[in-house]
């Protein structure tokens, strides 16, 4: 069977598991996914260990081909974001569907489809005796919940994970050229709840005489950025390094089409800081995004109650030396300064993690660069990524090995959204890269 057919077949099986880690009702599906991975690796000659005790099980599969060769540790995750067909999917999200030369399904690129590119190539190299490295796969099940116990697992299992370098493919390709990722933002998640009365109050009997929780919460959420698109929280930029001219120049050289950006995002405007290009803004500068607001009556018709409470979920993306816990404290202080004394509030934050910077001066990144050039027919871009990948810090700290980060997904892959997809052109390029990179 041609490799692409084998790939599609395995991806269909992999995507069919609803391995959603953000909701405990999917636990049976998580278990099924792990059993499937164990079987697939076992059938291809790997020795497999299923590690429990660190939240969802981790799958560690290793294949020693020749002790004289170096070892690559390939990281991936089998858990996915939730998906429901009525969220705008053209077909059932857990049935891999091929349409318009795209493989569509939850996990098609995040991350089942990407880690599978490396799996099928390693399997093929084993069969044809052309593997260039000994290989360990580490596939976890809590990436979408922030991998809370992964750092601890890596730190206490350095012998099991021992390798010469890490290979990770878990992102999108920007600028129409292959990418090597060189930095990731840190961040944290938080929940802000305001309370203005003990119970919702009749808007006829009380309207315009009592505070309204939604109005008060909106005061915080509405003005997080000033006229220059800078975050207004005092102290927020204290530990943000200014971006060097070299990095700015390199980012400005990455092909960027405003029209294409509008097409992919559906947004009508680019809201970067004055004079800052898109890649510098999302890769090297911090952000605060209110991602959820809940309050008041959401049922049919109208209840006309003045809400007593309202809640916002707020996501922070941080850079450089910004300390997530310090930022959370600064934000809480800011909220206190904005809200009037008659408003009570609680502010909780979770999963703080630091930004990461990737060392690119090593032979593994050099090899990736050369192979990408051959596989894609153009010179790779070194890219600062807006998202986070905190385990890179753990690999560096605990295993003392470098990471090579090569994203494989198309830029319009709809990660975390409806109709997540892996464009077949990108699948073909990805398979070519992986075959060359992992071969002799
Ligand atoms: Zn994800």
333-387 pLDDT tens trace? 999 999 999 999 999 998 888 999 898 999 999 999 999 999 999 999 999 999 8
93 Cα: distance to centroid of ligand 1 (angstroms): 15
Residue 100 pLDDT > 90: yes
Helix, strand, coil proportions of the chain in percent (round to 5)? 35, 25, 40
- Calculate mean pLDDT across residues 203-209: 97
C-alpha 415 to ligand 1 mean position (Å): 7
| Average pLDDT estimate for 285-293 | 97
Distance 228 CA to ligand 1 centre (A): 30
C-alpha of residue 260 to centroid of ligand 1, in Å:
23
Cα(227) to ligand 1 centroid in Å equals 32
Residue 27 CA, ligand 1 centroid: distance in Å = 18
Q: Kindly give the pairing relationship between strand 102-104 and strand 97-99.
A: antiparallel
Question: Ligand 1 mean position to 417 CA, how many Å?
Answer: 10
62 Cα–ligand 1 center, Å: 25
Q: Between the CA atoms of 356, 381, 116 and 401, what dihedral angle is there, to the nearest 10 degrees? A: -40
**pLDDT for 310-327, tens place per residue?**
999 999 999 989 999 999
> In degrees to the nearest 10, what's the CA dihedral of 290, 295, 299, 304?
-140
**Can you state the angle between helices 112-128 and 3-16, rounded to 10 degrees?**
140
CA 114 – ligand 1 centroid, Å:
12
- Report how far ligand 1's centroid is from the alpha carbon of 305 (Å): 38
Q: Separation of 286 CA from ligand 1 center, angstroms?
A: 19
Ligand 1 centroid to Cα of residue 198, in Å, is 38
Distance (Å) from CA 370 to ligand 1 centroid:
28
In contact, 180 and 379? CB cutoff 8 Å: no
CA of 199 to the centre of ligand 1 (A): 38
In this prediction, residues 165-181 reach a mean pLDDT of 94
| Cα 188 off chain centre by | 13
- The DSSP code sequence of 353-391 is E--EE----SHHHHHHHHHHHHHHSSPPEEEEESS--TH
Q: What is the CA radius of gyration of the chain?
A: 23
pLDDT at 1 over 80: no
Bond prior to 415 in cis (omega within 30° of 0): no
Distance 81 CA to ligand 1 centre (A): 6
Residue 273 Cα to ligand 1 midpoint, Å, equals 27
Q: 307 CA to middle of ligand 1, Å?
A: 34
Q: Provide mean pLDDT across the span 46-55.
A: 97
C-alpha 289/C-alpha 291 separation (Å) is: 6
| Average pLDDT value for residue range 192-217 | 98
Distance 340 CA to ligand 1 centre (A): 38
Residues in the 5 Å CB sphere of ion ligand 1: 110
Domains and CATH numbers, the chain: 3-184+356-438 (3.40.630.10), 187-240+286-353 (3.30.70.360)
Q: How many CB atoms lie within 10 A of CB 265?
A: 11
Res. 242 pLDDT band, cuts 50 70 90: confident
Where residue 130 falls among pLDDT bands split at 50, 70, 90? very high
How high is the pLDDT of residue 389?
Answer: 86
Quote the ligand 1 centre to 200 CA distance (angstroms).
37
**Strand order, beta sheet including 71-77:** 47-51, 58-63, 134-140, 71-77, 165-168, 403-405
DSSP bridge pairs for 388? none
Distance 416 CA to ligand 1 centre (A): 6
pLDDT score recorded for residue 105: 98
- Ligand 1 geometric centre to CA of 409 (Å): 12
Rounded to two decimals, what is the model's pTM?
0.86
C-alpha of residue 89 to centroid of ligand 1, in Å: 17
Calculate how far, in angstroms, residue 130's C-alpha sits from the geometric centre of ligand 1.
32
> According to the model, what pLDDT value does residue 237 have?
96
Between the CA of 221 and the centroid of ligand 1 the distance, in Å, is 25
- Ligand 1 center to 78 CA (angstroms): 10
C-alpha of residue 317 to centroid of ligand 1, in Å: 15
- Residue 414 confidence (pLDDT): 95
Dihedral of the CA atoms 367, 370, 374, 380 (nearest 10)?
A: 110
Phi, then psi, of 203 in degrees rounded to 5: -75, -15
């Amino acid at each position: 069977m041609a490799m692409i057919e084998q790939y599609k077949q395995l991806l269909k099986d992999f995507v069919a598991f609803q391995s959603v880690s953000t909701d405990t009702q999917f636990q049976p599906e998580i278990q099924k996914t792990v059993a499937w991975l164990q079987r697939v690796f076992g059938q291809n000659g790997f020795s497999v260990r299923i590690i429990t005790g660190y939240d969802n099980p981790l799958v560690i599969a290793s294949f020693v081909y020749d002790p004289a060769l170096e070892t690559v540790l390939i990281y991936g995750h089998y858990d996915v974001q939730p998906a429901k067909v009525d969220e705008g999917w053209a077909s059932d999200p857990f049935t891999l569907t091929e349409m318009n030369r795209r493989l569509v399904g939850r996990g098609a690129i995040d991350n089942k489809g990407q880690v599978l590119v490396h799996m099928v190539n390693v399997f093929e190299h084993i069969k044809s005796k052309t593997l260039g490295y000994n290989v360990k796969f580490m596939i976890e099940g809590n990436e979408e919940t922030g991998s809370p116990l992964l750092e601890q697992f890596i730190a206490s299992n350095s012998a099991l994970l021992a390798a010469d370098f890490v290979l990770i493919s878990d992102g999108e390709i920007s600028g129409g050229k292959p990418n090597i990722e060189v930095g990731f933002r840190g961040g944290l998640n938080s929940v802000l709840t305001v309370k203005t009365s003990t119970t919702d109050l009749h808007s006829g009997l009380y309207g315009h005489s009592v505070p309204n929780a939604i109005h008060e919460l909106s005061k915080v959420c509405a003005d997080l950025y000033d006229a220059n698109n800078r975050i207004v929280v005092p102290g927020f930029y204290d530990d943000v390094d200014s971006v060097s001219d070299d990095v700015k120049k390199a980012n400005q050289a990455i092909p960027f089409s405003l029209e294409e950006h509008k097409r992919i995002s559906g947004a009508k405007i680019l809201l970067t800081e004055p004079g800052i290009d898109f890649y510098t803004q999302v890769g090297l500068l911090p952000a605060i995004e209110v991602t959820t607001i809940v309050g008041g009556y959401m049922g049919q018709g109208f209840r006309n109650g003045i809400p007593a409470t309202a809640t916002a979920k707020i996501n922070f993306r941080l850079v450089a030396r910004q300390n997530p816990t310090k930022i959370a404290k600064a934000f809480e202080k800011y909220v206190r300064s904005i809200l009037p004394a008659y408003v009570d509030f609680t502010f909780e934050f979770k999963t703080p993690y630091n930004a990461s910077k990737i060392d690119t001066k090593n032979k593994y990144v050099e090899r990736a660069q050369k192979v990408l050039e051959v596989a894609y027919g153009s010179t790779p871009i070194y890219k600062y990524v807006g998202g986070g990948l905190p385990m890179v810090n753990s690999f560096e700290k605990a295993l003392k090995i470098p990471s090579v980060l090569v994203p494989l997904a198309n830029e319009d892959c709809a990660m975390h959204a409806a109709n997540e997809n892996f464009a077949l052109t990108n699948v073909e390029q990805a398979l070519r890269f992986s075959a060359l990179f992992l071969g002799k």
